Amino acid sequence: MLSLIESIKNALKVNQKQDLEFGSFEGDQISFAPNPIRAGETLNINYNGWLKDSGSHEIYLHYGFDGWHGTQETKMNRTDQGLYTINIPAEGREEINFCFKDTHGNWDNNHGNNWTLHFDKH
């Protein structure tokens, strides 16, 4: 019989997998392609979250790979529709870890959990 903690962990993994299958998080506020992601490919990340309305016209993707190794920060491009987008190389072997920030020091970090996308192994 699974403990309560193991049951919760399993439920979170299931929900994460469902998010990955659809290529978006939090109702399309954050989306990505391709899906599935493979190491070495170009990864497109789109941001349509609350920072876009925070008064800053610049949003940055703060990211690293495989447990935040090689952390980088790069300015996202704003589309005519107000969506922020960026293409980056999927340099890791296992996953990309990321969050967003603006020039006013505001962070969108998934309530302190950040976001993680796992790469396809096949």
Give domain limits for the chain. Answer: 17-33+42-118
Name residue, tokens 């979250």. 49
Q: Mean per-residue pLDDT for 111-121?
A: 91
| pLDDT tens-digit readout, 52-104 | 988 888 999 999 999 999 999 999 999 998 899 999 999 999 999 999 999 99
Secondary structure letter of residue 105 according to DSSP:
S
CATH fold of 17-33+42-118, please?
Immunoglobulin-like (2.60.40)
Closest C-alpha among 40, 37, 43, 10 to residue 21 = 37
Q: In degrees rounded to 5, what are phi and psi of residue 121?
A: -90, -10
Residues 111, 61 contacting (CB under 8 angstroms): no
